């Protein structure tokens, strides 16, 4: 469990990771350094979340966390959309796909978990207030990213589409029944509906979104930082007692098992009218009969 009373010492690799890739993420501070603004800067690709973009975001979040002057972190997307979600075809995505070519699910697992789960848990647990400023589309991986922030403000044009895999926070974001209701239907919700359901905390006209968000960030930055840290810790502890992190991790493991089962067949069809052969069962039986188990 994260020690919220004092930040942990950074390893050399973590200090290296804190370097920001300015081709994908822009970082600035405002209010005499009290507010860090992290901007996704892949407008050409609608701020799609590639492996490289996630690493760049992680560097920016680490820098904001490490800076003692920064009291509040604001996350935004440049251009007309917050983020279109998973990167499915940009040069970043093609490079990552080529690197994974021929790898088994077991070989890909550390990297995929390092993109889908660990960053979101780490960003969620930054002991400083975090705010997402959302306009336009917020789809799948972008929902996951926004969910890891403490507060979400949205423009009136915002459209949200949740994902049912990877960082599966949706039941915690909007409640179990609403999560089922929405995800069974696989549809977008607009900013007002997202606010009614508790995912978004306030909605503003697009031309007022930044000013309203920054005004809130300034008010928060004026509070005592230790009190803010302890309030956040207390609220997170409530969710941890209810099982937040174990649920996120077990859901991801379940997803990986299902993905592996589509990669390695667990059964095969035999002649018509005969039972299917479950290969995993047959392997277990063969091992047992050979005395291996």
**Domain coordinates in residue numbering, the chain:** 12-224
Burial annotation 250-285 (CB, 10 A radius, 16+ → b, else e): ebbeebbeeeeeeeeeeeeeeeeeeeeeeeeeeeee
From first to last of the 293 residues of the chain, give the pLDDT tens digit: 444 444 444 543 444 445 688 889 999 999 999 999 999 999 999 999 999 999 999 999 999 999 999 999 999 999 999 999 999 888 988 888 888 788 777 777 777 787 789 999 999 999 999 999 999 999 999 999 999 999 999 999 999 999 877 899 999 999 999 999 999 988 999 999 999 999 999 999 999 999 999 999 999 999 999 999 999 999 999 999 999 999 999 888 877 777 766 654 444 544 444 444 445 445 555 666 777 64
The pTM (predicted TM-score) of the whole model is 0.83
CATH class of the region 12-224: alpha beta
């Amino acid at each position: 469990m994260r020690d919220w009373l004092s930040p942990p010492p950074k390893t050399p690799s973590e200090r290296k990771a804190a370097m920001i890739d300015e081709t994908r993420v822009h970082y600035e501070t405002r209010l005499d350094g009290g507010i860090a603004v992290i901007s996704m800067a892949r407008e050409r690709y609608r701020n799609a979340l590639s492996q490289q973009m996630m690493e760049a975001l992680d560097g920016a979040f680490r820098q904001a966390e490490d800076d003692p002057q920064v009291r509040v972190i604001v996350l935004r997307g440049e251009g007309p959309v917050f983020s279109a979600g998973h990167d499915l075809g940009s040069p970043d995505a093609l490079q990552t796909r080529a690197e994974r070519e021929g790898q088994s699910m077991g070989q890909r697992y550390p990297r995929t978990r390092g993109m889908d789960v660990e960053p979101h848990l780490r960003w969620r647990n930054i002991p400083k207030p975090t705010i997402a400023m959302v306009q336009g589309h917020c789809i799948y991986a972008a929902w996951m990213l926004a969910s890891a922030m403490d507060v979400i403000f949205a423009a009136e044009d915002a459209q949200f589409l949740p994902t049912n895999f990877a960082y599966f926070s949706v039941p915690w974001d909007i409640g179990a029944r609403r999560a089922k209701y929405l995800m069974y239907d696989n549809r977008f919700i607009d900013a007002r509906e997202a606010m009614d359901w508790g995912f978004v905390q306030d909605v503003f006209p697009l031309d007022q979104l930044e000013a309203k968000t920054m005004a809130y960030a300034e008010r928060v930055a004026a509070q005592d930082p230790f009190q803010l840290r302890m309030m956040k810790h207390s609220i997170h502890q409530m969710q941890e007692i209810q099982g937040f992190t174990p649920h996120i991790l077990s859901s991801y493991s379940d997803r990986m098992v299902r993905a592996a089962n589509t990669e390695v067949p667990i059964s095969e069809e035999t002649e018509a009218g005969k039972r299917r052969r479950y290969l995993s069962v047959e392997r277990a039986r063969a091992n047992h009969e050979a005395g291996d188990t």
